Amino acid sequence: MKSNFKLFKILILFLLVLYLIGALAQMKWHPLDALNFWMRVLGIG
């Protein structure tokens, strides 16, 4: 249970950081462009 909670906290932090980066990126890019960029960076897409 503890390891799952730690993983959950890491996931929340990761999503929060991604959201903040996305918010900053919106100044320059369309949100979908920012999402595609980060998906490429993270090797998801």
| Residues 7-26 pLDDT 10s | 999 999 998 888 888 777 76
pTM of the complete model:
0.47
| Residues 30-41 pLDDT 10s | 667 777 777 888
pLDDT at 5 over 80: yes
Residue of 9, 5, 35 whose CA lies nearest to 23: 35
Give residue 8's pLDDT: 92
Burial of 40 by CB count in 10 Å (0-12 exposed, 13-18 middle, 19+ buried)? exposed
Section 2-8 average pLDDT: 88
| Domain boundary assignment for the chain | 2-42
**Residue 42: what are its φ and ψ, rounded to 5°?**
-80, -5
pLDDT at 29 over 70: no
